[in-house]
A = this chain, B = another copy of it.
Amino acid sequence: MLRISKLTDYAVVLATELASGTAPRSVTRLSAITGIPAPTTSKVLKSMTRAGLVDSVRGKTGGYRLSRPADRISVAELIRAIEGSIAVTECADENDGYVCSLQGDCGVRANWQRINRAVEEALESVRLSDMAVPNSPLVPLLRSQDEAEEKRHAEALEVENHG
């Protein structure tokens, strides 16, 4: 039903938890806090590591920690880390060299791609730091977000300037 997988949900939960501190925390620890079964927690974190969203530290005092500040990680990235490229429809996937089995090119395709891009950009604009706040006015997303968008835009520019 236009679902993201449960594992991706876990990824977000784990990431928000990690966002609350800088010291690495172990799988055991995180599992206990979040209620996600330990082996699964491990699996998800490993994917996140491969995607470069978290850093792993081995050894006795090891564990996982975010690789970047929470406002530099988007929900879209988290989704992509677990599920691969975001594609609402099979023929909406622009990366993959997929050829639709139906009528060669049925116009619908281009429109799906646009919808897809819109959704993706929306998810891109929601950052982990937003998710961490229980009921933040984070997701205007649609229309009338002028001010929120502008604020974000300004922030982005600021960040760029600092880099």
Contacts and interface: CB of A to CB of B under 8 A. Distances in A.
Interface of A: 1-4, 6, 9, 12-13, 16, 33-36, 75, 79, 83-91, 101-103, 106-108, 110-112, 114-115, 118-119, 121-123, 125-126, 130-136, 138-139, 141-146, 148-149, 153
Given A102-B35, A136-B111, A2 B79 contact: yes
Contact of A34 (B102, B111, B153): B102
Number of copies: 2
Given A2-B88, A3-B87, A139 B121 contact: no
Nearest to A82: B1
A86 B143 contact: no
Given A12-B108, A119-B122, A121-B149, A88 B4 contact: yes
B84 A107 contact: no
B134 A34 contact: no
Contact of A107 (B16, B88, B112, B148): B16
Contacts of A138: 111, 114
Contact of A115 (B84, B102, B126): B126
**9 cross-chain pairs, A with B, having the tightest CB-CB distances, nearest first:** A107-B134, A118-B141, A114-B139, A1-B83, A35-B102, A110-B135, A121-B145, A111-B131, A122-B142
